[in-house]
Amino acid sequence: MSDESRFPLIGEKFPEMAVETTQGSMKLPDQYKGKWFMLFSHPGDFTPVCTTEFYSFARRYDDFQKLNTDLIGLSVDSVISHIEWINWIKDNLKIEVPFPIIGDSMGRVASRLGMIQAESSAATVRAVFIVDPNSVVRLIMYYPLEIGRNVDELLRAIKALQTSDKYKGAMPANWPYNELIGEKMLNSAPKNVKDIPARMKEYKGYAWWLTYKDVPDNEVQEIKKIVKTKDEK
């Protein structure tokens, strides 16, 4: 299967493409070189779930910016439709959508990124592509038409990827609020038997293959200010 006939996979470069958006023409991924970006699709303008999502994304835009991450939306509506919709959001919901939205009425970009699926041949599912500063796809999520996305989880995932890259470890479930190790991060398992004793001496853990280490407090506090527990909200 050729690269042009399938969507990019985690660990591959985001494909080069020229797009038209509500903020003008852009070339991806060059537009965001040196930054993280999150490209996400929605089924259609002037629809209920999508409107709640765009309100949430606009409201939390500054939190994405704190994580050096830009947003760019997409649906198979035209740029003109996008502009009319975000003007409606501004006038009626009193919030401005600050990020660009790709107009893809021919479905070219959506098809290239696997956003047209069996659920609907006439609309994009709610896809999410998180791309790092080297233009590498780091995370892909797909949601069905009827379920809106959780913005906290997207922010948490971005910060977890950034922290994993910086401190060379893996992030546990629900980080930074993991039920076993809290805000710490996991070490990769030793790759040979002779390294096991040293690993257990150097780090705390539950087993030789399940050890953990501290994450600098400034990194933890950054994400905790953005993503709070239910009791803190």
On the question of pLDDT at 7 being above 80, the answer is yes
**What's the confidence (pLDDT) of residue 120?**
73
The answer to whether residue 1 scores a pLDDT higher than 50 is no
CA distances from 145 to 65, 70, 114 (A): 27, 23, 14
Q: Is 86 a catalytic residue?
A: no
**What is the structure's pLDDT at 64?**
98
pLDDT per residue over 153-167, tens digit each? 999 999 999 999 999
What pLDDT shows up at residue 2? 47
Residue 228 is predicted with a pLDDT of 87
Q: Bigger pLDDT: 119 or 174? A: 174
Q: Give pTM, 2 decimals.
A: 0.94
User: What is the per-residue pLDDT across 71-86, written as a single tens digit (0 to 9) for each?
Assistant: 999 999 999 999 999 9
Catalytic residue among 19, 28, 50, 76: 50
pLDDT band for position 172 (cuts 50, 70, 90)? very high
Predicted pLDDT at 3:
59
Write down all domains in the chain, each with its CATH number in brackets: 3-149 (3.40.30.10), 160-226 (3.30.1020.10)
Long-range contacts (CB closer than 8 Å, 24 or more residues apart) made by 22-29: 22/79, 22/82, 22/83, 22/86, 22/100, 22/101, 22/103, 23/100, 24/100, 26/72, 26/100, 28/72, 29/131, 29/135
| pLDDT > 90 in the chain, percent | 88
Q: What is the mean pLDDT of the chain?
A: 94
pLDDT at 10: 97
Q: What is the pLDDT of residues 85-141, one digit of tens each?
A: 999 999 999 999 999 999 999 999 999 999 988 777 778 999 999 999 999 999 999
pLDDT band at residue 33 using 50, 70 and 90 as cut-offs:
very high
pLDDT for the residue numbered 122: 75
- Using 50, 70 and 90 to split pLDDT, how confident is the model at 5? low
112 φ/ψ angles, rounded to the nearest 5 degrees: -65, -30
Sequence-distant (≥ 6) Cβ neighbours of residue 217 within 8 angstroms: none
Give the pLDDT of residue 25.
98
Tell the burial category of 171 from Cβ atoms under 10 Å away from its Cβ (0-12, 13-18, 19+).
Answer: buried
Task: Give the separation between CA 78 and CA 17, rounded to whole angstroms.
Answer: 17
Residue 178 DSSP one-character state: B
